[in-house]
């Protein structure tokens, strides 16, 4: 059993903790070597308003977060894209993730979004089960494409 979970919007001083959580997620997703964004990148991009985050804290310790940004659907209109969603392993199973996800959904609605989107790995059974409990549609017919730039 964990003590009370409190949620709050991220501030610039939270960037080291956010970056650490994203690194933990990259390790979980077996992609740690692909994680190259620096703390300076996080600070700069957060200050530019590129992304937002909601944090979960227990007794002053950041134990989870959702990181997201506005996007646009030509079919639906304004939307929010959930980039990263992570709860420290020892705090999973206590409803922290559900509270974070619900806060993300509420914030997207407050910001007048018509939809939210995210990706989930096909092997991540706990995440898939979580999203199914939230009545999410998991699309299996779309394939992801990307180009990575070396802007050194």
Of the listed 23, 69, 91, 131, which one is catalytic? 131
| 5-133 topology per CATH | Aminopeptidase (3.40.630)
The pLDDT score that the predictor gives to residue 142 is 85
- Number of C-beta neighbours around residue 14 at 10 A: 18
Q: What is the pLDDT of residues 77-103, one digit of tens each?
A: 999 999 999 999 999 999 999 999 999
Beta partners for residue 87, in sequence order: 64
The Cα-based distances of 6 to 57, 123, 147, 150 in angstroms read: 5, 30, 37, 39
Average confidence score pLDDT of the chain = 94
pTM, two decimals, is: 0.92
The pLDDT score that the predictor gives to residue 146 is 86
Q: What is the pLDDT of residues 32-59, one digit of tens each?
A: 999 999 999 999 999 999 999 999 999 9
Domain spans in the chain, listed from the N-terminal domain onward: 5-133
Please, which pLDDT band fits residue 151 given cuts at 50, 70 and 90? confident
pLDDT at 62 > cutoff 80: yes
Active site residue 28: no
pLDDT at 152 > cutoff 70: no
Distance CA 80, CA 62 (A): 23
Distance CA 108, CA 46 (A): 18
């Amino acid at each position: 059993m964990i003590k009370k979970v409190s949620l709050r919007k991220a501030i610039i001083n939270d960037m080291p903790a956010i970056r650490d959580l994203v690194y933990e997620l990259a390790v979980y997703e077996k992609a740690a070597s692909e994680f190259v964004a620096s703390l300076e990148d996080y600070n700069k991009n957060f200050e530019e308003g590129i992304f937002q985050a909601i944090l979960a804290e227990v007794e002053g310790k950041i134990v989870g977060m959702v990181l997201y940004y506005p996007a646009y659907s030509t079919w639906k209109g304004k939307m929010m894209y959930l980039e990263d969603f992570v709860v420290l392993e020892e705090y999973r199973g206590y409803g922290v993730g559900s509270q974070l996800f619900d806060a993300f959904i509420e914030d997207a609605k407050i910001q007048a979004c018509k939809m939210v989107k995210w990706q989930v790995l096909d092997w991540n059974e706990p995440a898939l089960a979580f999203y199914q409990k939230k009545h999410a549609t998991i699309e299996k017919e779309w394939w992801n494409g990307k180009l990575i730039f070396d802007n050194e």
